[in-house]
Copies of this chain bind each other. A is one copy, B any other.
Amino acid sequence: MPHERLVIIGGVAAGMSAATRARRLRPDLEITVLEKGADVSYGACGLPFYISGEVASADELVVYTPEYFREKRDIQVLLHHEVVEIEPGRKLVHALREKSQPVAIPYDKLIIATGGAPALSIPGVDLRGVFTCSDLAGAIRLRKFLDERHTRRAVVVGSGYIGLEVADAFAKRGLEVLLLGRSPHLLEGFAPEICVKAEEALTAHSVRVAKSSTVQSISASQKSGELHVHHSAGTETAEVIVLATGIQPQVALAESAGVRLGPTGAIAVDNRMQTSANSIYAAGDCVETRHLVTGKPVYFPLGTTANKQGRTAGENAAGGHATFDGIVGTLATEIFGLEIARTGLNADEARTAGFQAASVTIETRSHAKYLGGHPLTAVLIWDRSSGRLLGFQVASQEGAAKRVDAAAVALHAGMKVADLPNLDLSYAPPFAGVWEALLIAAKEALNKSRH
């Protein structure tokens, strides 16, 4: 009897986690990963640090090479293999090798990990000097462009965390940066009190910020090659433009194979990462997941989630039983040394989800003032009707990200605000205050609730 065959489409985060987990459980499985690009298993969240030059070589971002997977884990990695069709009836995957050579690969179990791709609907996105920051190959092209050409002015389109990270990277390279965002706040999804800290950090480092600006098109001067960004409040000229306007799930392959999409437009999966199709799993930036605070499907593409989902899909495709129930919306970033992190819902999201949302903002310090503790802003969001914790956000030059983790666990556990003030969190003067920000905010919320 031939070995059972597991085929995985996509080899970045979810795909390689799936392959690794399946191999661990099943030494006998024949595992093939089809990757359309030239790289697998790299730290996509590190791309801005490669663009800034803080990470010298792209190789440093690569966690494992295809050779490593082949030799050490007996996982067949086929680069430059773009899958063009899934045939569930015959359990076949059709790919084009090096863009031209057709290959048909049979599977017993299939995992779709096609990821996400930039949402690009602006005329002019294909002009020379216009980039995205969504994969390693693109980041290498962008840095080469910056290294080889005289660039003085940059426009970053998009005011989500990726846009801010790219603006930070450009400013560190000495570029004059304009950040153009469509929404009235930077960092949509964060509380206004946190957004304002991010904006202060940007403007303190000479990044110009234009909010509520919709980009209509990009054009280029034929002679100079200068680029012009035409937006709702005028036109900006620059030598380089990065579009960071969000990520869309890559679902075309799945959809045409009859795999069901969910309400968010991403692939629908159950908590075993199984799709609607027999023997087909999906994981990573191409799937939607459940938001454990709202209980509803959400599209929230992140590397950490992709790895967990991939691991779950890999285990189940290998005949095991693993579950991934969902996320609580944790997200962290750093802009010019300011850590910004959130978990759960913000007040607007909570109201939209039907909660009687209230929020409280507190100011404290990252650690004891007498040892140089930094100012720290925290926002706690809760449901007045049930008393349940709904979200927590922190901005500080120190310790914001790991501080929201405690709140993330509290969200997973469905804790109420009244459960928080007595949580036994760590304290010592070099890295905390006697009352942690989460506890202070919870006490404030309870005081507010009494009235």
Contacts and interface: CB of A to CB of B under 8 A. Distances in A.
Interface of A: 13, 43, 45-46, 49, 54-55, 60-61, 292, 302-305, 307-308, 311-312, 323-325, 327-334, 339, 341, 343, 368-371, 399, 401-406, 408-413, 415, 419, 421-432, 434-436
Contact of A413 (B43, B311, B368, B409): B409
B412 A419 contact: yes
B412 A424 contact: yes
Contact of A332 (B402, B411, B426): B426
Q: Report, nearest first, the 9 A-B pairs whose CB atoms are least far apart.
A: A413-B413, A402-B402, A332-B426, A409-B409, A60-B370, A401-B426, A405-B406, A330-B424, A304-B427
Report which residue of A324, A332, A343 has the largest number of chain B beta carbons within 10 angstroms of its beta carbon.
A332
B401 A432 contact: yes
A49 to B, nearest CB: 6
A428 B332 contact: yes
A307 B440 CA distance: 12
7 contacts: A43-B429, A45-B434, A304-B424, A304-B435, A402-B431, A409-B423, A412-B413
A292 B339 CA distance: 32
Contact of A425 (B304, B426, B429, B432): B304
A343 B405 CA distance: 15
Contact of A402 (B328, B399, B415): B399
Contacts of A403: 402, 405
A166 to B, nearest CB: 14
Nearest to A446: B322
Contacts of A54: 371
B370 A61 contact: yes
A329 B423 CA distance: 11
Contacts of A292: 424
A296 to B, nearest CB: 15
Contact of A303 (B46, B323, B427, B431): B427
A431 B43 contact: no
A401 B329 contact: no
Contacts of A323: 422
A49 B431 CA distance: 13
Nearest to A59: B370
Contacts of A432: 332, 401-402
Contact of A422 (B308, B426, B430): B308
Contacts of A419: 412
Contacts of A430: 334, 339
Contacts of A369: 60
B331 A426 contact: yes
B421 A308 contact: yes
A341 B405 contact: no
Contacts of A423: 408-409, 412
Nearest to A312: B422
A330 B426 contact: yes
A413 B331 CA distance: 22
Contact of A370 (B46, B332, B425): B46
Nearest to A425: B405
A431 B401 contact: yes
A308 B415 CA distance: 18
Contacts of A55: 370-371
A46 B332 contact: no
Report which residue of A325, A424, A432 has the largest number of chain B beta carbons within 10 angstroms of its beta carbon.
A424
Contacts of A333: 428
A423 B292 CA distance: 11
Nearest to A309: B422
A13 B413 CA distance: 30
Report which residue of A45, A304, A329, A333 has the largest number of chain B beta carbons within 10 angstroms of its beta carbon.
A304
A423 to B, nearest CB: 6
Contacts of A431: 332, 334, 339, 401-402
Nearest to A302: B427
